[in-house]
Structure 1
Amino acid sequence: MDVADPGNSAELPMVSVITVNYHGTDSTITCLNAARELDYPPDKLELICVDNETSADSAERLGALDGVKLLTSRENLGFAGGCNLGAREANGTVLAFLNNDAVPDPGWSRAAVGVLRAAPTVGAVAGKVLDWQGSRIDFVDGGLTWFGMGYKRHAGELDEGSHDGARDVLFGTGSSLFVRAELFRALGGFDERFFMFYEDVDLGWRLNLRGWRVRYEPASVAYHRHHESMAAVSSAREHYLLERNALAALYKNVSEATLARALPAALALNVRRSTARGELDPHQLELDRRPADPREDETPVPVDRQALAGVLAIDRFVDLLPEFKRAREVEQRERIRSDADLVPLLRKAMEPAYPLPRYLAAHDALVEAFELETVFGGSRRIAVLTGDAITERMAGPAIRAWHTAEALAVEHEVRLVSVNAEVAPTEADFAVLRAAPRDLPSHVDWADIVVVQGHVLEMVPALRRQDSGTIVVCDIYDPMHLELLEQGRDTDEQRRDADLRGTTEVLNKQLRRGDFFLCASQRQRHFWLGHLAALGRITPSVYDDDPTMRSMISVVPFGLPNRPPNRTGPGIRGQRENIGDGDKIVLWAGGVYSWFDPLTLLHAVHRLSEHHPELRLFFLGMRHPNPDVPEMGMADRTRELSDRLGLTDKQVFFNETWVPYEQRQNYLLDADCGVTTHFEHVETTFAFRTRMLDYLWAGLPVVTTDGDSFADLVRDERLGVVVPAEDPGALAEALERVLYDEPFIQGCEERIAEVRERFTWETALRPLTEFCRDPRPAPDRLPASAPLTRTPRPSRTAALRDDVGLLREYLDQGGIREVTKRAAGRLRRVAGQRLRGKGNP
């Protein structure tokens, strides 16, 4: 991501730079003087210094600095406590934490603010930190081990330019870190129990779990005298803090399932790390090592402080466990993302971190015994929920749900769950389950990501809530409300109106709640974008994060198998009387619904059969496999017209039962062309005829009515013939061409072979599979989001001037009546705002 130009001073947010001093006044003064030279408007820059364990000398010298707000503390609050104190007193909408032994480059703040303004989903910006000379790396990326220890990747390496690309990270270093102020406060700031070390790791971890991004920005540069502030702290005390805080970070932030395996192993590894570091003999208390003189067993044994550090860290962790338990409950309740989502940000979670032989042996043994490779392997739990029948005979929604589950199961643990009474699946590499609506919450609770179709979201009220932490993908490839306009023609007007309003609200609830949406075509995408805009989902933060909106709604058409169709049994020919090997078969591969126009097709077949008596039209399935879907009036009208024209069982054949999904290729391979015809209406405009892709799979030239996105594909790619709606003459001519014009047929088949590769399920579902590798809530659903800049309230004079201008405008528009109407409207709005401020809905 390129850094956006933050623009002029009026548009820039206030930045509060916070640095903590602890007996390092000379370095702190150097740091603050450098901060004064930042390329940032002085009126938008606030410098705050927190002086831990204040002395008279430090208070006097730091207090003498112009433009610095000095906060003093008689006790040492640690880095975490000092930063939090500074944040509580800060006025900026951006908090910039800067170590007192570091100095910022002039462009340090402007570059970071540019990222925050350009990407509303970024909660914190980690700057690039180099050593004092600017030649070697202090921080460009963060890593985390499975036992909770964060570390700076590439630290000490030469900065030769290979880390000049921005990227998402798990955490930034507290020596140079920018955080949205509102967000920092919502998270409770740094955890002060850490005192120092890993408080920045913990903060970044929590930000990511709640759906925010931490972004490394190489243009935001600072120079750091590494560990100058730790000069007076022994290595044993440092190890103690590192060990204790690593356990605390792990305990607070991983899920229950991960904690059950990782924490016991982490505690055991801590002990081994300590004994190896202190070179303790682990066998000295074995019974076969007893001394000859029993009194020697009572002699004290010296223990290196390096060994003691880990044991005392565990002991102190146990003391703090009740407090950390409460903190853990908060983090687990508020988290949106799974452990698996964050695995890529851990970088190399299975690295042992310390090159001690006995320690390395223990590390490998613990990883194997507790199967930690599987815990940190990146697999997510995904529930695909549908209301359709999952049997050998499946309709479009079930087929789509099945292949969605199949594609996601390659990388994740997947459940395909149907609330339909008909669930009798074939063998699959994922779980296929039936659930009553009351049982759906258990599957939702199990999942990290839920993919929903149709009305299923209505059955899980908790999932509809905006504060639900589950990532929700809404598959809205079927505009059900438009479909219902046609489907409901056979019902009374009151029922039809109620059904339409109910279905529209079902879709609106999905559109208000979803984090990611799937549609079937560009036409549909434009249609749904209008819906999202009308519901207020296309906010400035959403738009700024992705002006294309592809990260919120992507085209996922219906798909077809990767492999070509192979015959596995009988199809049409030889199975039905009056259909022979030499006949030309036109296949209607889907159902017969109210929005289709098989009647014009029957007239065209009747007309064409007078010259081509070998012509046959075969309807693949008249009754929907889902018993909840009633047969529509169009099916009866089709049978009646076929009988009246004398076509039934001569030129026209009806397969009353639905063909099993895994046997459909036998029917397709017997056909010579595929056909679909429909009326001209809004449903057609935004529909995607799912079974049409089976024609491409089997290499069949296509005849279709104009008006939908599939007709555009057939026309643009020359896959067959597109005809006007309700024109039997043009339809008859089109059928004759795709059945008897050999050069035309060959051309269609060649182009179909190329086009169908674009519609394999693997290709079609790619936007979803990519989203599930790094799932995040939609930007407008992120908790604690707030604007970085706010429009200042106008002065009384300016407000009066604006009101006078409005008064003149209203008088020009409609006189005193218009003024009265506008005034009444303003009074209602003000009253409503006051009521909402008192907690009323």
Structure 2
Amino acid sequence: MSESGILPTVSVVVVNYRGAADTIVCLRALRDEVDHPSDRLELICVDNASGADDVARIREAVPEARLIESAENLGFAGGCNLGAAQARGEVLAFLNNDARPDPAWISAAVAALRADPRVGAVASKVLDWSGREIDFVDGGLTWFGMGYKRHAGEPDDGSHDVPRDVLFGTGSALFVRAGLFRELNGFDERFFMFYEDVDLGWRLNLRGWRVRYEPASLTFHRHHASMSTVHDSREHFLLERNALAALYKNVEDATLAKVLPAALALSVRRATARGELDATQLEITRRPSDRASDDEPVEISRMTLAGILAVDQFVELLPELQKSREIEQAARVRTDADLVPLMRKAMEPAYPLPRYLAAHETLVKAFGLAEVFGRPRRVLILTGDAVAEKMAGPAIRAWHMAEALSMEHEVRLVSVNDHHAPPPARFPVLSALPRQLPDHVGWADIVVLQGHMLEMVPELKRAESTKIVVCDVYDPMHLEYLEQGKDVDDERRSRDLAGVTKVLNTQLERGDFFLCASERQRHFWLGHLAALGRMSPDMYDADPTARSLLSVVPFGFPDAAPVRTGPGVKGEIDGIGVRDKVVLWAGGVYSWFDPLTLIRAVDKLRGEHADIRLFFLGMKHPNPDVPEMGITGRTRELAHRLDLVNRHVFFNESWVPYQERHNYLLDGDCGVTTHFDHVETTFAFRTRVLDYLWAGLPIVTTDGDSFAELVRAEGLGVVVPAEDPDALAAALARVLYDEEFAAGCRERIAVVRERYTWTEALAPLVEFCRHPRQAVDRMPATEPLVRTPPLRTSEKMRKDLALVKEYLDLGGPTELARRAAGRLRRLARERRRG
């Protein structure tokens, strides 16, 4: 297939109003100079009731262009919409009639659209006619709704040649996906001209689409020919009215309540300041001595009148704008806080008039607008685990997420667990009943959740939900349950496993971003996502690595090395002396672990090494809702039977507080984790191993998981086969009594552990929350940029004949009949769905 065969058709819309000479130059450049294939280019010229001979001149000069005549002047917005309504292309391009395109204007924009399905529009770089000064490279938006071209008039020094996301592009050179443009009902024709492009870009961003500035898509703009005969006051009228309209449509309810009164007041002050109107002339203290003088007309400049009438006509438009506002607010997936960075300088006053600047400062303070447009993003972290002094893995992970994200955002950590006694924090740590969760979700811009929490907030599962949801699937609960459920009857085990799998599938179908704990897990979850249809062509085209959908966020530990703050085990626990060799089991005893082989290994070693001590840091889970598993009792029983308890094996029957665990770790001589060889092990992430790395302890681990690979590859300890007490005993002897080997392990651990600080571990989540977006396959109005054309009748016949031959070869007439019946059933189902 030729290159042009896989490119979209681009329909370029040029609006003419009494500017035939400029329009002809523009259309000829599009026809003759751009490098997009001519069979994929449609030229549309909309004449806005120019009169005279404009239409005839354009038709004669550029017969290739499709000319659409409007019976009235629809303005730029209406003219563009009229052309777009009749366009055939998958991409719409809008170009001012007094502009000329660079040869790569179209191809560069199309490349940006094809590179990422989340890009809904491409904003071109626009220079003046000479190519020396900037017309458009970035858009800014003030808190009162006025958009402006940043850096306009500055020399083009190459500093704006890096693509970036913008709030809007200039309508003088803009590309939009055709289906998306129609989904948004195009430009708002009530604007006529000015800010219709600001409003469109604003609406695109609110719905989760990216507007991408692409400097390689270059145009040159001559002048504002269409405005040359329009008085400045009429231009200001449109600017003032349209800014209020865009503001009213697009900001959130809470923002509107503060910003609209201030914007209306500032509009009036801007009008009086521009027209140099004496705003105190009607003060009662300045009334004249005779009434007749007071009845004389007051002269008002047209610039003042423009601002006053703009407010008046904004009020006139309110009933229509209210309907538009309802549509935009229902469709939005991004918050005002999300868009503040794209506004660039939201608090910019814009006009250097002394009285106006004074009013701007007063209104910003009086209405607290700096807080509104500087409001941090709101992140809600939901966990079902107990958040207290003694915490297990899920709560620890949620805690550190909240800690990291609270540096940039407003964060709430909410647990639905009854056992709630959190340590001091710089962010709110709250307890909630499931029925109270909707209020917290309503507050949030982003929801980060673990485990079963999505099931407790059913409104988040609905297809129409626009909240950004991050699912933390670091724990493959269904694989874990295969081991955990061995203690229950088969029927319940199967039922519970199906329920856990359904919970995970629901998360995988809903989430906008997923976190897992290792590359192994990532491969596993990619398979899950693909099976559920989440690895769509749109998703793949947007990011072939899929890291924008699923990223590795392991557990971590503090950036600083542990420092003793209290007692540990040596010299504190009866039977453990200060010179004994302590093997630490940091964490709980669960069904998927193998502490039995470890106890047998200690039994083998105690004859030759009487000073060996094995200490279990926690036998009882800190969450009382988690029942004790069968392996726990078997572990105690074996240790007692071998007469090791309180001699060589010690059990902390409670749980070490999270903020004190470092004191125990610092008393260890090595850390150990042993497990069985099964599927759960393959994808597990043993967080206790991170504590060993943090404390610099040589590690002894069973083979089969991701940490075993790390220990072996980096020389951090010894990896042993599963359920082999002799190999395990030898490994413990080596790390405990071979001082040279143990010292080498500690040196190598000091290098490796820098990869696992919480700062490093949480970096992908922190970055996502800086720029949160819906997953591309959850965005509305997505469609392929280029659709595969349907097969022609002759091609269909050839394909069907080939299938008939294939089925006959496979099984003769019986197979052919079976396949034909299946096809008829499939077509019947499709008709019913249609």
TM-score range, shorter chain: over 0.9
Match of 1:605 in 2: 602
Distance 1:524 1:265 in 2: 52
Is 1:210 the counterpart of 2:207? The answer is yes
Aligned counterpart in structure 2 of residue 395 of structure 1, from 392, 395, 417? 392
Name the aligned partner's letter for residue 566 of structure 1: V
Aligned counterpart in structure 2 of residue 256 of structure 1, from 237, 242, 253? 253
Gaps of 5+ in 2: none
1:656-708 Cα offsets, whole Å, 9 max, x none, are 11121112122212222111100111111110011221112222211111111
Match of 2:82 in 1: 85
Name the aligned partner's letter for residue 54 of structure 2: S
Name the aligned partner's letter for residue 451 of structure 1: V
Name the aligned partner's letter for residue 204 of structure 1: G
| C-alpha displacement of 1:498 | 1.3
1:88-112 Cα offsets, whole Å, 9 max, x none, are 1111111111112222222221221
Indicate if the aligned counterparts of 1:341 and 1:378 stay in contact, CA closer than 8 A.
no
Aligned counterpart in structure 1 of residue 736 of structure 2, from 734, 739, 753? 739
Match of 1:41 in 2: 37
Distance 1:717 1:806 in 2: 55
Distance 2:366 2:582 in 1: 62
Distance 2:379 2:293 in 1: 61
> SS where residue 82 of structure 1 aligns?
helix
> SS where residue 448 of structure 2 aligns?
strand
1:200-599 matched pairs, under 5 angstroms: 200-377=197-374, 379-599=376-596
Indicate if the aligned counterparts of 1:344 and 1:378 stay in contact, CA closer than 8 A.
no
Is 1:15 the counterpart of 2:6? The answer is no
Distance 1:21 1:490 in 2: 78
Is 1:61 the counterpart of 2:57? The answer is yes
Match of 1:52 in 2: 48
Is 1:144 the counterpart of 2:144? The answer is no
Is 1:703 the counterpart of 2:700? The answer is yes
Distance 1:41 1:714 in 2: 57
Distance 2:540 2:808 in 1: 37
Distance 2:671 2:763 in 1: 27
Name the aligned partner's letter for residue 669 of structure 1: L
| C-alpha displacement of 1:553 | 0.9
Is 1:196 the counterpart of 2:196? The answer is no
Match of 2:616 in 1: 619
Indicate if the aligned counterparts of 1:137 and 1:156 stay in contact, CA closer than 8 A.
yes
Is 1:29 the counterpart of 2:24? The answer is yes
| C-alpha displacement of 1:396 | 0.2
Larger mean Cα displacement after TM superposition, 74-83 or 287-296: 287-296
| C-alpha displacement of 1:812 | 1.5
Is 1:794 the counterpart of 2:791? The answer is yes
Identity of aligned residues (%): 69
Distance 1:627 1:756 in 2: 32
> SS where residue 359 of structure 2 aligns?
helix
Distance 2:292 2:672 in 1: 97
Larger mean Cα displacement after TM superposition, 432-441 or 285-294: 285-294
Return the TM-score normalized by structure 2. Answer: 0.97
Larger mean Cα displacement after TM superposition, 371-380 or 316-325: 371-380
Aligned counterpart in structure 2 of residue 832 of structure 1, from 819, 829, 834? 829
Name the aligned partner's letter for residue 18 of structure 2: H
Match of 2:157 in 1: 160
Distance 2:711 2:791 in 1: 59
Match of 1:804 in 2: 801
| C-alpha displacement of 1:56 | 5.8
> SS where residue 823 of structure 1 aligns?
helix
Distance 2:620 2:292 in 1: 91
Distance 1:158 1:229 in 2: 25
| C-alpha displacement of 1:378 | 5.5
1:515-545 Cα offsets, whole Å, 9 max, x none, are 1111101111111111111111111111111
Larger mean Cα displacement after TM superposition, 577-586 or 632-641: 577-586
Distance 2:748 2:305 in 1: 74
Name the aligned partner's letter for residue 24 of structure 1: G
> SS where residue 691 of structure 1 aligns?
helix
> SS where residue 151 of structure 1 aligns?
strand
Larger mean Cα displacement after TM superposition, 753-762 or 633-642: 753-762
1:551-577 Cα offsets, whole Å, 9 max, x none, are 111110001112322333332234432
Match of 1:656 in 2: 653
Distance 1:372 1:667 in 2: 50
Name the aligned partner's letter for residue 13 of structure 1: P
| C-alpha displacement of 1:582 | 2.1
Match of 1:3 in 2: none
Match of 1:183 in 2: 180
Match of 1:117 in 2: 114
Indicate if the aligned counterparts of 1:416 and 1:433 stay in contact, CA closer than 8 A.
yes
Indicate if the aligned counterparts of 1:585 and 1:673 stay in contact, CA closer than 8 A.
yes
Is 1:727 the counterpart of 2:741? The answer is no
Aligned counterpart in structure 1 of residue 770 of structure 2, from 756, 769, 773? 773
Gaps of 5+ in 1: 1-5
Aligned counterpart in structure 2 of residue 638 of structure 1, from 624, 635, 639? 635
Deviating 4+ runs (over 4 angstroms): none
> SS where residue 393 of structure 1 aligns?
coil
Distance 1:338 1:63 in 2: 47
> SS where residue 764 of structure 2 aligns?
helix
Distance 1:790 1:670 in 2: 65
1:105-142 Cα offsets, whole Å, 9 max, x none, are 22221221111111111100111111122222111111
Distance 2:91 2:228 in 1: 30
Name the aligned partner's letter for residue 505 of structure 1: K
Larger mean Cα displacement after TM superposition, 128-137 or 138-147: 128-137
| C-alpha displacement of 1:7 | 7.0
| C-alpha displacement of 1:303 | 0.9
Return the TM-score normalized by structure 1. Answer: 0.97
| C-alpha displacement of 1:87 | 1.2
Indicate if the aligned counterparts of 1:94 and 1:178 stay in contact, CA closer than 8 A.
yes
> SS where residue 48 of structure 1 aligns?
strand
Name the aligned partner's letter for residue 359 of structure 2: A
Is 1:681 the counterpart of 2:688? The answer is no
| C-alpha displacement of 1:63 | 4.1
| C-alpha displacement of 1:294 | 4.6
For these two proteins, the number of residue pairs brought into alignment is 832
Larger mean Cα displacement after TM superposition, 714-723 or 11-20: 714-723
| C-alpha displacement of 1:67 | 2.4
Distance 1:746 1:132 in 2: 70
Structure-2 change in CA distance of 1:56 and 1:810 (3 Å): farther
1:32-66 Cα offsets, whole Å, 9 max, x none, are 22221232222221111222125262333344442
| C-alpha displacement of 1:181 | 0.6
How well do the aligned residues superpose, as a CA RMSD in angstroms? 1.6
Larger mean Cα displacement after TM superposition, 611-620 or 6-15: 6-15
Distance 1:83 1:55 in 2: 18
Name the aligned partner's letter for residue 34 of structure 1: A
Distance 2:259 2:565 in 1: 49
Larger mean Cα displacement after TM superposition, 32-41 or 700-709: 32-41
> SS where residue 53 of structure 2 aligns?
helix
Distance 2:9 2:810 in 1: 41
Name the aligned partner's letter for residue 307 of structure 1: T
Distance 2:486 2:814 in 1: 45
Aligned counterpart in structure 1 of residue 755 of structure 2, from 754, 758, 766? 758
